[in-house]
Amino acid sequence: MATLQDLGVAAAINIISAFIFLLVFAFLKLQPANARVYYPKWYLKGVRQGSSRGDERGSLLRFVNLNYKSYLHFLDWMRDALRMPEGELIAHAGLDSVVYLRIYLLGLKVFVPLMLLGFLVLVPVNVTDSNIQTGKIFGTDIDKISLTNIREKSPRLWAHVVMTYVFTAWTCFMLFTEYKTVARMRFQFLAAEARRPDQFTVLVRQVPLDPDEPISTHIDHFFRVNHPDYYLCNQVIYNANKLAKLVKKREGLQNWLDYYQLQFQRKNTERPMTKTGLWGLWGQKVDAIQYYTDGINQISKEATVERERVLNDDSSKLPVAFVSFRSRWGAAVCAQTQQTRDPTVWLTEWAPEPRDVYWRNLSVPYLQLTMRKLFITGAVFLLIFFYIIPVTFVQSLANLEGIEKKLTFLRPIIEAKFIKSFLQGFLPGLALKLFLHFLPKLLMFMSKIEGHLALSQLEVSTSAKYYYFMVVNVFFASVIAGAAFEQLKTFFQQSPSQIPVILAGSIPQKATFFITYIMVDGWASIAADIMRIKPLIVYHLKNMFLVKTDKDRENAMSPGSAGFDTVFPQLELYFLLGTVYSIITPFILPFIIVYLAFAYVVYRHQVINVYDPEYESAAAFWPHIHNRIIVSLLVEQITLFGVFAGKRAAASTPLLIGLPIMTIVFHYYCKNRFEPAFRKYPLEEAMSKDIVDRATHPNWNIKTYLQNSYMHPVFKDSEEEMD
């Protein structure tokens, strides 16, 4: 167990390393050559322009910033990041990003008062008692200022009961106002938005096939009859997954062609050669430019044939369509109602915005969805509780002796003393590190199999899976100490009344561990995040080997997005830690607060200057965030039950029963009050937007506007190419 001093040292190390990261970042971002890495958003907006490569005009200044003054203000980006007002930020980066940043603010709003109260009320109460000093139990400095130091049956516990109610009430109050604000922001955002195809469009699934008429006509007839005054047109969806693959393959070849052409252009002496085998490593040697040009032509031909086939073959039409209406009111009605007796056909839901559609999954048969969901749920369950088994297996394979035996030619290298000891320390962890690195991608892959139709849904679904993984394998695994599947056994074989006791037994002892975790995983990782090491390297590599035109350079930027699928779970885990420890060990709160404040500044900077979100869901993810904070409250309350029972506080323990009831009632209240705002589009809103639209653009031709709005991007690409 760590003393306060140990923690202080750890904090100092982490703060210093974070500071070094920030210095490096400040230096890197001031170099003009890196501008497209650190300010891509402004290039995409067209505010910044021009090439940052100086080969045409040749000047050192285009690469390196020699103005020493600018280095003096190396922390100004923080001030700049905080300066942009929220309204402007919504216009600049969209509502999703702004609401995402508000989660950090919410954390501060919740935890700062909790910390103040904790240090003003609970710490003095704890520190003046003497459970540890009297030697009844063993404890560290941190335990002395936490609930552990309260003696059994002490009347001081009343302070904790009162504070628990105050904390819960404050958290709920903050959650409530935040939910209300986000719901209001969402409606304002939707109301203020420009005209967009998805406002008029409904996604219809499970169109029943009619042997007598083509699918498009069938849809036409159905909606003409059942929505006579509002129906406008429909866009049938083609199964273009094969075509998309071809186009993607062509893009890959095009990259190689560009690379060799650039090489040839620069050296100007001999034509570059390549090998026809895998990754250009094996096989016959051929002229590279010729080889890739041929390949591209070949695939282009295939793509053209496939494109014709898809567009003309009836069997490639999916029983899915985007159906558009004359007014937003008509679309809102269709999306919210049931069309026929059989609730498994003619299913209507709001269409995601065109960018947000995940086209591949439109071809998933609807009736498979339940089975897919079930299968993935089972797989995620296994992954969460038993992932450690394959990892351990790989670790056991990856020992040095095994590798030496199989790959004998490596023996001289491995036997070198220094390398051997390094590998022996490094290899066992490698499998786990690799697994954890690829975990979000694996979970995203699983979510894709589940069959979600929009990228926004995919990210939310992945974030849920990742959250469960972290709660079980970071939180409970540290608390209960043991592999996840052993926890499962513990929980299943204990009576429900024992669970709070188990939690109470170990949670207070793990406070120092989690404080260290917050510093290493939280503080340091944010500081590393802002440096954008990977995009920096990738951009410069691309710039070196692939970029020929300014448009190529535009494409070489990879602004990325906030990555809600991994960012939300991490944040939610910190909320869980903060809530669970707020009463037991308030000393953890300042560390979380530092994390939240620091992350808020850093990610606000990234949102303003870097990220380019792939879609805009108007904060549709908020209910998930809210629900998980509610769960954190419940975990806290169950733990406190156990702690109080352990302190034999017979008088005060029953009072705690009010907390989960209060929390659950609050949850349902919020659900009823606010969740519909994120799921439905009220008719009044639709109607008022329609009325304004009709008044301002009486002659607007909606039909041409919507004609090709929902076209598979692969067709758009090939159309552009043909132009």
- Which of 66, 194, 225, 278 is the binder for its own copies (CB under 8 A)? 225
List the interface residues with its own copies, window 494-553 (CB under 8 A).
494-498
**Least distance between its own copies and beta carbon 86 (Å):** 20
Query: What is the Cα 8 distance to its own chain's centre?
Result: 32
- φ and ψ at residue 486, rounded to 5 degrees: -70, -35
Residue whose tokens read 């009859």 = 225
d(CA 621, CA 616): 11
Q: How many residues bind its own copies (CB under 8 A)?
A: 42
CB of 501 to its own copies, least distance (A): 12
Q: At what angle do helices 622-646 and 499-506 cross, to 10 degrees?
A: 90
Is 503:576 a contact under the CB 8 Å cutoff?
no
Binding piece for its own copies, criterion CB under 8 A, among 131-139, 226-234, 290-298, 572-580:
226-234
- For residues 687 to 716, the per-residue mask of contacts with its own copies, x marking binding by CB under 8 A and - elsewhere, is x-----------------------------
Considering the complex, what minimum distance in angstroms separates the CB of residue 480 from its own copies? 16
Is position 368 an interface residue for its own copies (rule: CB under 8 A)? no
- The Cα angle at residue 346 between residues 343 and 350, in degrees rounded to 5: 100
Which residues in 647-676 contact its own copies (CB under 8 A)?
A: 665, 668-669, 672-676
Question: With binding defined as CB under 8 A, does residue 684 bind its own copies?
Answer: yes
481 token code pair:
């100490």
Instruction: Find all residues with CB under 8 Å of 335, minimum gap 6, and list them.
Output: 202, 348, 349, 350, 681
Return the closest-CA partner of residue 423 out of 406, 437, 402, 438.
402
Minimum CB distance to its own copies smaller for 162 or for 665: 665
The helix (run of H) or strand (run of E) holding residue 183 is helix 157-192
Residue (240 or 351) nearer to its own copies, CB: 351
Does residue 279 belong to the site contacting its own copies (CB under 8 A)?
A: no
Residue 80 engages its own copies in binding (rule: CB under 8 A): no
Is 63 or 187 the residue whose CB approaches its own copies more closely? 187
Q: Which residues contact 402 (CB under 8 A, 6 or more apart)?
A: none
Cβ of residue 307: shortest distance to its own copies, in angstroms? 36
17 binds its own copies (CB under 8 A): no
Distances from the Cα of 606 to the Cα of 171, 530, 557, 602, angstroms: 28, 7, 14, 6
Taking Cα atoms as reference points, which of 247, 262, 349 lies closest to residue 301? Answer: 247
- Asked if 69 and 591 touch (Cβ cutoff 8 Å), the reply is no
Near its own copies in 227-246, by CB under 8 A: 227, 229
Locus of tokens 């969460």 = 384
Give CA–CA dist 609/603, Å, rounded: 10
493 contacts 570 by C-beta, under 8 angstroms? no
Number of H helices, E strands in the chain: 34, 6
The piece of 12-20, 33-41, 50-58, 489-497 that touches its own copies (CB under 8 A) is 489-497
Among 70, 177, 217, 370, interactor with its own copies by CB under 8 A: 370
**Which position among 17, 31, 216, 226 is part of the footprint of its own copies (CB under 8 A)?**
226
Shortest distance (Å) from residue 615 CB to its own copies: 23
Compute the least distance from the CB of residue 283 to its own copies, in Å: 50
C-beta of 676: minimal distance to its own copies in Å?
Answer: 4
Q: Which of 340/421 has CB closer to its own copies?
A: 340
Q: Which residues of 391-426 are buried (b: 16+ CB within 10 A; e: fewer)?
A: beeebeeeeeeebeeeeeeeeeeeeeeeeeeebeee
Q: Least CB distance from residue 228 to its own copies, whole Å? A: 8
C-alpha distances (whole Å) from 401 to each of 397, 418, 680 are 9, 16, 61
Per-residue x/- track, 325-364, its own copies (CB under 8 A): -------xx--xxxxxx-xx-x------------------
Q: Three-state SS string across 64-99, please?
A: CCCCHHHHHCCCHHHHHHHHCCHHHHHHHHCHHHHH
CB of 213 to its own copies, least distance (A): 17
Binding range to its own copies, per CB under 8 A, among 46-54, 296-304, 474-482, 488-496: 488-496
Give the separation between CA 190 and CA 681, rounded to whole angstroms.
Answer: 10
At closest approach, how far in Å is the CB of 254 from its own copies? 45
Question: From residue 170 to residue 199, what is the string marking binding to its own copies with x (rule CB under 8 A)?
Answer: -------------x---x------------
| CB of residue 339 to its own copies, shortest distance in Å | 5
**In terms of CB distance, is 214 or 343 closer to its own copies?**
343
Pattern of binders to its own copies over 458-487, x per CB under 8 A? ------------------------------
CB of 175 to its own copies, least distance (A): 17
Among 32, 113, 658, 682, interactor with its own copies by CB under 8 A: 682
Q: Residue 441 interacts with its own copies (CB under 8 A)?
A: no
CB atoms inside a 10 Å sphere around CB 573 = 23
Q: In this complex, which beta carbon is closest to its own copies, that of residue 127 or of residue 665?
A: 665
Q: Can residue 493 be called a binding residue for its own copies (CB under 8 A)? A: yes
State how far the Cα of 596 lies from the Cα of 526, in Å rounded to an integer.
10
**CB closer to its own copies out of 385 and 568:** 385
Using CB under 8 A as the criterion, which residues of the chain lie in contact with its own copies when the complex forms? 183, 187, 225-227, 229, 332-333, 336-341, 343-344, 346, 370, 374, 492-498, 665, 668-669, 672-677, 680-685, 687
